[in-house]
Structure 1
Amino acid sequence: MRKAFFELHIAILLAGFTGVLGRLITLNEGWLVWYRLLISSVTMWILFSLTKKLQKISPKDILKLTGIGFLSALHWLTFYGSIKYANVSVALVCFASVGFFTALLEPLFFQKKIIAIEVFLGLIVIAGIYIIFHFDPKYKTGIILGIICAILLAIVMIVIRQFVQRINPQTLLTYQLTGGWLTLSLVMPLYIKWFPTSYFIPKLSDWMWLLVLAWFCSVLAFQFSVNALKKLTAFTVNLSFNLEPVYGILLAFMIYRENKELRWSFFTGLSLIVLALCFQMWRVWRQSTVSALGARTEYE
């Protein structure tokens, strides 16, 4: 159990490190995502084919996962765009609003009742982002991209649930990333036209960080989280991943000293967001504990 928790938090730390690497890589966000998807998908095809983890799925499912992959590619595009136009910390603060958009959008997709407390906590997160947006105008473009990034991720998380029960995670992610790379490749000519760049071949240092991003922050982080799921519940893993933006912001503070370039409004907004995340984690944990106790009492 202890090893599972260790692997889980290593996975979260690696996921949080993606923002730090996004600032290190000098490619623009379009080419950064294109290379990341290419390296990650090729690696997963080789790795999971050799270990026989890929299952056969229908052409219809492949098409759907390709569409989800395109949304994922747009999510990463806006995430790294947020970093380029603002910084790692601001991008990750916006990333933390995923829960709010999930609470709003999920009932629309599945015709479920909106949970008022989740919307309220999401509004606290949005209030935190607004404080930063209002008092730090230089980050406005980055914040807008960050919010779009959060909306896209919320949609991806909602629509991919229909596959989780019948397709294993290795197959899901491999087809998702491959679909993301293929669809992004199709729209790259338009992207280059709208956002021209002086170069698209990575420098030597860029290649190094791209490999770290793909192999460690994508493939290895995924493998650690799957290993953790063998010992821990999906609930525990999903709840723990709420710490990803917190880990990422702390890494940005330590590596880039971003805390020195941020104003009081950022820390006020961040405090509101962390407060909302902590309360949501406590609330869900408490509900899970009560449900488990109730089930045990019934059984006894």
Structure 2
Amino acid sequence: MKIKLNNVLILHLTVFVWGFTAILGALISINETHLTWYRVLIAFSSLYLWFKYKKIDFRVNKEQFLKLFLTGGIVGLHWILFFGSIKASTVSVAMVCLSSLTLFTAVLEPLFSSKSVSKLEILVGFLIILGIYMIFKFETEYETGIIMGISSAFCASIFSIINSKQVKNRAATVITYYELIGAFCWISFYLLLTNGYTKAMILNLSDIIYLLILGIICTSVAYVAGVMVMKELSAFRVALITNLEPVYAIILALFIFGKDEQMTNGFYAGASIILATIFLYPIVKTRLEKRKLSKNLHP
């Protein structure tokens, strides 16, 4: 029981650290593309050191490498759009828009598998769309940030679905490592094509500190810790706790940035609909599955 409680606390701390990612995105002065480039460079380098220290075999064959390398491009685009959303709007707007990941996954997953869309997922999708509509209606000055945030969620949904298949064959940390390398290479190529290697990439001391925290603690360490405890907890509990990420981030943003993060009542109404929906979704889904199982066992 004590071990399980420790795992729950570690996962909460991990999700809290993930939420802090958005805060760092707002604090770092360079643009979203350069920010992501530095983040993935630091993250895959620190993961490499972790593998070497723990003597973990992280080799993959050419086919697996190619798939992960290509998926890394989507991962990189997701982070660029996410940090772009923060810089074009606020942490709160970006985090709530990212929560539409649940909607995109419900719609896209059946296209990648034989799974059919359930009535519950249709209802979840409708409620999330309603919440996004309310945010759009009341936060017109942040349209660019909202669009980038929703696009970021779309990308996250795609690579999450791809990774759900990949994780059956390789450890999640190994998958992350090669996707980070892929993201770094794709972003490097993009910067080369667009003459993006400019003086704008030069970092001040605070940016260096924030990027090290972002790349090592908020990415590598948090991800390794999260994967380790997730193996010991039920999928239901993991889903509930990870859905708290936007809540932690919004509270942190209000505490750190104050008035800059204060939004209209319409925003909070829309955000409440979205966050309540994604939090209640695993609860309702689990109950429906238990009821269905009970009927099958006792017709």
Q: Would the TM-score normalized by the shorter structure come out above 0.5?
A: yes
Paired position in structure 1 for 2:35:
32
Paired position in structure 1 for 2:185:
182
Paired position in structure 1 for 2:118:
115
Shift of 1:293: 7.2
1:113-171 alpha-carbon deviations (Å, 9 max, x no partner): 11222122122112111111122211000000001000000001011122111101221
Shift of 1:238: 3.4
Q: CA 1:167 to 1:94, structure 2 compared with 1: closer, same or farther past 3 Å?
A: same
Shift of 1:283: 1.0
Q: After the TM superposition, which residues 57-136 of structure 1 pair with which residues of structure 2 at under 5 Å, given as runs?
A: 57-136=60-139
Q: 1:28–1:197: 8 Å Cα contact kept in structure 2?
A: no
1:60-118 alpha-carbon deviations (Å, 9 max, x no partner): 10010011111000000000000000010000010010000000001111132112221
Q: After the TM superposition, which residues 36-47 of structure 1 pair with which residues of structure 2 at under 5 Å, given as runs?
A: 36-47=39-50
Q: CA 1:259 to 1:279, structure 2 compared with 1: closer, same or farther past 3 Å?
A: farther
Q: 1:157 aligns with which of 136, 156, 160?
A: 160
- CA distance in 1 between counterparts of 2:174 and 2:60 reads 9
Shift of 1:50: 2.0
Q: CA 1:119 to 1:49, structure 2 compared with 1: closer, same or farther past 3 Å?
A: farther
In structure 1, runs of 5+ residues without a counterpart are none
Q: Aligned-pair RMSD on alpha carbons? A: 2.1
1:144 and 2:147 aligned:
yes
- Return the letter of the residue paired with 1:140: E
1:256-281 alpha-carbon deviations (Å, 9 max, x no partner): 12576311111111111122123203
In structure 2, runs of 5+ residues without a counterpart are none
Q: CA 1:294 to 1:11, structure 2 compared with 1: closer, same or farther past 3 Å?
A: farther
Paired position in structure 1 for 2:246:
245
Q: How many residues align?
A: 295
Aligned to 1:160, what secondary structure does the other structure show?
helix
- CA distance in 2 between counterparts of 1:230 and 1:268 reads 35
TM-score normalized by the length of structure 2: 0.92
Q: CA 1:96 to 1:262, structure 2 compared with 1: closer, same or farther past 3 Å?
A: same
TM-score normalized by the length of structure 1: 0.92
Q: 1:3 aligns with which of 6, 31, 40?
A: 6
Paired position in structure 2 for 1:254:
255
Q: 1:53–1:170: 8 Å Cα contact kept in structure 2?
A: no
Q: CA 1:260 to 1:207, structure 2 compared with 1: closer, same or farther past 3 Å?
A: closer
- CA distance in 2 between counterparts of 1:6 and 1:58 reads 36
Which stretch shows the higher mean deviation, 80-89 or 254-263?
254-263
1:238-267 alpha-carbon deviations (Å, 9 max, x no partner): 342111111111111111125763111111
Paired position in structure 1 for 2:201:
200
- Return the letter of the residue paired with 1:165: K
- CA distance in 2 between counterparts of 1:205 and 1:293 reads 57
Paired position in structure 2 for 1:19:
22
Aligned to 1:36, what secondary structure does the other structure show?
helix
Q: CA 1:192 to 1:258, structure 2 compared with 1: closer, same or farther past 3 Å?
A: farther
Q: CA 1:122 to 1:156, structure 2 compared with 1: closer, same or farther past 3 Å?
A: same
